[in-house]
Amino acid sequence: MSIVASMRKSLVPIHPEGYPFIAGAVVIALLLFLVSTVLGMIGLGLAIWTTLFFRDPPRVTPVREGLIVAPADGVISQIGPARPPRELDLSDDPLLRISIFMNVFNVHVNRAPVTGRIERVAYKPGKFLNAELDKASEDNERNGLVLVTADMRVGVVQIAGLIARRIVSFVREGEEIGAGERFGLIRFGSRVDVYLPLGTKVQVAEGQITTAGETILCDLAAPASREATYRLS
């Protein structure tokens, strides 16, 4: 392997969605250097951060049947029963919701938790509350997917946050998608919720760090346990 090829392999890929933002940050940094070195260094730091924000590293997704993988990098902020957004037409009753909060330093490319057909894509405008708040699921701008597998329907909802002002979707209704494949991106801090049947065996805990496309959230092949069955209080 040549030195150039080795260097390219070691670099983390950048998602094309970020190119305009990176270019803009670089231009701003150059202009700030014309004003002062201090301001230029601040601008350079912003350009580096912008580049890192849009990184899109490769992931190795476990392929055993029945696994639900994390759709986002971040931390598990909530696990429990909640009614899914109405626009998904997923269920009128509470489902198991697993929420993953992404800060501004996480990878923000989102990946499908299961293999299936995209039955619904539903965008809803809204507010920009702190994505860690429970009411953000209902009040904030969001984009939801319903994925249909051979055995179930899974809801995945991208939620904007205080800083996030743009949810980008890469998919359309009727398309097939594999577990771990990219389906969207949220710019600059946000949250992703996954909705599953109550009683699903959960493999993660609140506060745990997740890696999109790799961390196993649930194992549908495992028998339901008392600890994994969530009920409304």
Contact status, residue 157 vs residue 83, Cβ threshold 8 Å: no
Q: What are the Cα distances from residue 232, in Å, to 15, 93, 211?
A: 40, 10, 28
Give the count of beta carbons closer than 10 Å to the beta carbon of residue 149. Answer: 16
Give the count of beta carbons closer than 10 Å to the beta carbon of residue 33. Answer: 15
Gyration radius from the chain CA atoms:
19
Per the residue annotation, which of 91, 190, 225, 233 is the catalytic one? 190
Of 132, 147, 141, 139, the C-alpha closest to 88 is 147
Our answer to whether residue 6 is catalytic in this structure is: no
Distance CA 147, CA 196 (A): 11
Q: Which residues are catalytic?
A: 190
